[in-house]
Structure 1
Amino acid sequence: MTFDLEAMKLAVVDAIEDIKGFDITVMDVRKLTSMTNYMIVASANSSRQAKAVADNVREKLKEKGFAIRGTEGEKEGEWVLVDLDDIVVHIMVPTTRAYYNLEQLWGEAESRRGHIKAE
């Protein structure tokens, strides 16, 4: 399989939306860090839903041949991180998302909200 960052990004957003994740923001952090290319932040209504969204992201990306590097935070479920190497996915309940406010922390990143169409 040829690596396609745009396809990976779209697959993540679709997987989040499949499980009714919402308030999706895609941040291009390539100019800010060498750790990853994109961060995708999404909200879930509960810790149970956050875990389900993370599970679906992993499942859908594995089906498409993308590697999953790791997952953190599933035990608590308030903030679940899925590391895809080139994309880091953060799924949070709204109170946790408001508290950490990653969009402000990474404020210099180019970001887009809502459903992400192919560029």
Structure 2
Amino acid sequence: MQAEALKEIVVAALEDMKAVNIVTLDVRELTDVMDYLVIASGTSNRHVKSLADNVCMDAKKEGVRPLGVEGENPGEWVLVDFGDVVAHVMLPATRDFYDLERLWVDTRPES
């Protein structure tokens, strides 16, 4: 499955479960590790886990399984890795602390 289509599945799964502040970053120019980074917040540990579970289930329905899922037990930050698309689902305080959006912004000067 193409990365663009997989990204849309991830975003739709997050929207279906009422994720908060969904952000999609195109990081193809910054890294060869992945194409898209999807970041979203949940309102509680249980909501974060449910969001990540829904992402996995919706992708599985389309024949895609994650390469790995990390952080399900604490539920403060769950990472779902599909290779070309990586989803980070976090509690708002965790998201503010790590500020992944800022870390992945291209800060190279223009030529």
Query: TM-score, normalised to structure 1's length?
Result: 0.86
Give percent identity, aligned residues only: 47
Q: Distance in 2 between matches of 1:17 and 1:25?
A: 11
Q: How does 1:40-59 map to 2 (within 5 A)?
A: 40-59=38-57
Moved over 4 A (4+): none
Where do 5+ consecutive residues of structure 1 fail to align?
110-119
Residue of 52, 58, 73 corresponding to 1:75: 73
- How far has the Cα of 1:107 moved from its partner? 1.3
Partner of 1:114: none
Q: Give CA-to-partner distance per residue, 1:56-114, whole Å, 9 cap, x none.
A: 000000001113101000010000000011100000000000000001011118xxxxx
Q: CA RMSD in A?
A: 1.1
Q: What number of residue pairs does the alignment pair up?
A: 107
Partner of 2:33: 35
Q: Which secondary structure does the structure 2 equivalent of 1:17 belong to?
A: helix
Q: Which secondary structure does the structure 1 equivalent of 2:43 belong to?
A: coil
Contact 2:3 2:36 in 1 (8 A): no
Q: Give CA-to-partner distance per residue, 1:20-78, whole Å, 9 cap, x none.
A: 11100100111111111110000100111000000000000000111310100001000
Where do 5+ consecutive residues of structure 2 fail to align?
none
**Is 2:91 the counterpart of 1:100?**
no
Q: 1 or 2 for the larger relative contact order (CA 8 Å, sep ≥6)? A: 1
**Is 2:14 the counterpart of 1:16?**
yes
Query: TM-score, normalised to structure 2's length?
Result: 0.92
Q: Distance in 2 between matches of 1:53 and 1:104?
A: 23
Q: Which amino acid aligns with 2:46?
A: R
